[in-house]
Amino acid sequence: MDPHITEWLNLAIRWAHMVVGVAWIGASFYFNWLENNLNRVNPKTGLTGDLWAIHGGGIYHLEKYKLAPPSMPENLHWFKWEAYFTWITGMCLLFVVYYLNAEIYLIAPGSGLDSTTAISLGLGVLITGWFVYDFLCDSALGKKPVLLAAILFFLLVGATYGLTQVFSGRGAYIHIGAIIGTIMVGNVFRVIMPAQRNLVKAIEENRAPDPALPAKGLLRSRHNNYLTLPVLFIMISNHFPSTYGSQYNWLILAGLAVFSILVRHYFNTRHGSQKYAWTVPIAALGMIALAFVTSPYGSQSSTVTPTASTTEAASAGVSFESVNTVIQARCSVCHSAAPTHAAFKTAPAGVILDTADEIKINIPRIMAQAVQTKVMPLGNLTQMTDDERNLIGTWVEQGAVMQ
């Protein structure tokens, strides 16, 4: 597909995904906050609680019924399309960014997968993820929420590890996000909305609603609430190669998910007490620990092993000319004012490496992405070698002399 068309498809779909995603997340956060902050002391007959609030210059009084009012109101607002369109636009984005350019963005170099197999695997894990989750929730584990959450977490960590073995770090991360997003929208479509329709139908037919269905819908809504922050990180993770580009990328994502859930739990419970206030500093310390673990300084864990040729080059001193030759051959195919690769009309992220001045400005990026994490070139499409990565690294360590 023409790269100009792909770029604008990416922009339009990503924008739409962000708009509807904000609407869905906003509604989820608000209604969970509302549920947690209801005044349940001596509620009126038929109510489980109420809440007074002020916003935008007005005062609001909200009431929640134990099940339903005696008769249906004339106007009842439903919240579903935000969820549906978030998933639809997310899937469109997955196809445009990762599936139309599977060799570049999705497949890990050396994995042996072709595009068709990789895409089939990607779609397969989304479908499997939903059915496994739904089965576990409907099993006896559904009555043991903490144990259920632990099992689901370890299954997702296992899926992350497996996907990082065949997909690029970015590709693996985005598919874990897509699995979680599919679970969340599946909860809305298959559980929450049917429970709400059953409730409304019972009122219209003047019969007692089944309390089990709304309770099940509330549980799935809670799951969605706790899953939101990990998904939000995954949505922006492609900007942070020290996470998805690390050899421990699957553990890093697991850690970030745990810290996100801890923070979410504090905000979900702070209305009752501050006993979970410790989760916020623990999450902050955890982020600092991850920053330390992923740091390339003082460690060779994320770089390539020096070879005889690079050791010899280091002792003799690396010239900018030799480094520039590598960059022009391996990087400027995409990162140029006029990219020669068919998938790119303009340089990705606006990074251009045509001249010595442009290379000098981007030395930190080159080191982080081509040497330390090796996430660039994308899919290693230009076949950059370990010797070439080490050559650049050695040149930078020697002071990056531009002559």
Which of 399, 389, 365 lies closest to 239, judged by CA?
Answer: 365
Is the same domain home to 264 and 320? no
pLDDT tens track, the chain, 403 positions: 677 788 889 899 999 999 999 999 998 889 888 888 899 998 988 899 999 999 988 999 999 988 778 888 888 888 899 999 999 999 999 999 999 889 888 998 888 899 999 999 999 999 999 999 999 999 999 889 899 999 999 999 999 999 999 999 999 999 999 999 999 999 999 999 999 898 888 888 888 878 888 888 888 988 999 999 999 999 999 888 889 988 899 999 999 999 999 999 998 888 778 889 999 999 999 999 998 888 766 444 444 555 555 555 555 688 989 999 999 999 988 899 888 887 788 888 888 899 988 898 888 888 888 888 888 888 888 889 989 899 999 999 888 888 6
Domain-terminating residue out of 293, 318, 347: 293
Is the same domain home to 337 and 250? no
Is the same domain home to 214 and 138? yes
Can you tell me whether residue 49 is helix, strand or coil? strand
pLDDT at 192: 92
Is the same domain home to 280 and 322? no
Domain-terminating residue out of 235, 264, 293: 293
Q: How would you label 41-58 residue by residue, b for 16+ Cβ within 10 Å and e otherwise?
A: eebeeebebebeeeeeee
In sequence order, the 6+-apart residues with CB closer than 8 A to the CB of 156 are: 176, 179, 180, 254, 257
CB-based burial of residue 59 (10 Å sphere; 0-12 exposed, 13-18 middle, 19+ buried)? exposed
Establish if 72 belongs to a structural domain: no
Which of 322, 321, 344 lies closest to 332, judged by CA?
Answer: 344
Is the same domain home to 349 and 263? no
pLDDT at 132: 97
Establish if 56 belongs to a structural domain: no
Establish if 231 belongs to a structural domain: yes
Establish if 221 belongs to a structural domain: yes
Q: Tell me how crowded residue 313 is: count the other CB atoms within 10 A of its CB.
A: 20
Query: Hunting for tokens 């068919």 — which residue is that?
Result: 342
Establish if 157 belongs to a structural domain: yes
In sequence order, the 6+-apart residues with CB closer than 8 A to the CB of 50 are: 38, 39, 43, 44, 61, 62, 63, 64
Establish if 61 belongs to a structural domain: no
Is the same domain home to 131 and 207? yes
Q: Can you give the residue range of the structural domain that contains 106?
A: 79-293
Is the same domain home to 287 and 316? no
Is the same domain home to 208 and 350? no
Domain-terminating residue out of 293, 320, 335: 293
Is the same domain home to 170 and 283? yes
Span between the terminal Cα atoms of the chain, in Å? 40
Establish if 156 belongs to a structural domain: yes
Radius of gyration of the chain from Cα atoms? Answer: 25
How far is it, in rounded angstroms, from Cα 123 to Cα 129? 10
- Helix, strand, coil shares, percent, the chain, to 5: 65, 5, 30
CB-based burial of residue 252 (10 Å sphere; 0-12 exposed, 13-18 middle, 19+ buried)? buried
pLDDT at 138: 92
Is the same domain home to 153 and 202? yes
Is the same domain home to 260 and 315? no
Number of domains in the chain: 2
pTM of the model: 0.83
Establish if 154 belongs to a structural domain: yes
Is the same domain home to 328 and 198? no
User: Which residues are paired to 65 by β-bridges?
Assistant: 47
